[in-house]
Amino acid sequence: MVKSVALHSAPSAAELLARARELHPIIAAEGPRSEEAGRLTGETVAAMRGGADLFSLLIPECFGGAEASTTDALRVIEAVSYADGSAGWVLMAAQCCTGMAAAYLGRDGAAEVFGKGIPIICGQGAANGKAVVDGNGYRLTGHWSYGSGVLHSDYTHSGAIVYEKKSRRRGSDWAPSSSMALMMNVWKSDAVGGSVPRTGSGSEARKNIVSSLRSERIQTVSPGVGSTV
Q: What is the 3-state secondary structure (H, E, C) of the chain?
A: CCCCCCCCCCCCHHHHHHHHHHCHHHHHHHHHHHHHHCCCCHHHHHHHHCCCCHHHCCCCHHHCCCCCCHHHHHHHHHHHHHHCHHHHHHHHHHHHHHHHHHHHCCHHHHHHHHCCCCCCEEEEEEEEEEEEEECCEEEEEEEECCCCCHHHCCEEEEEEEEEECCEEEEEEEEEEHHHCCEEECCCCCHHHCCCCCCCCCCEEEEEEEEEHHHEEECCCCCCCCCCCC
Q: What is the pLDDT of residue 229?
A: 47
pLDDT tens track for 12-59: 999 999 999 999 999 999 999 998 888 899 999 999 999 889 999 999
Return the closest-CA partner of residue 125 out of 104, 156, 154. 156
pLDDT tens track for 51-81: 889 999 999 998 999 999 999 999 999 999 9
pTM above 0.85, yes or no: no
With left for phi above 0 and alpha for psi between -120 and 50, is residue 147 left, alpha or beta? beta
* Cα distance between residue 109 and residue 111, in whole Å: 5
Question: Which span out of 60-74, 95-109, 117-131 was modeled with the highest average pLDDT?
Answer: 60-74
* Cα distance between residue 58 and residue 66, in whole Å: 6
Q: What is the pLDDT of residue 55?
A: 96
- CA trace torsion 152, 153, 154, 157 (10° rounding): -170
pLDDT tens track for 158-209: 777 877 776 666 777 666 655 543 333 223 233 333 223 445 555 555 556 6
Q: All domains of the chain, ordered by start, with CATH?
A: 13-114 (1.10.540.10), 121-217 (2.40.110.10)
Taking the alpha carbons at both ends of the chain, their separation in whole angstroms is 13
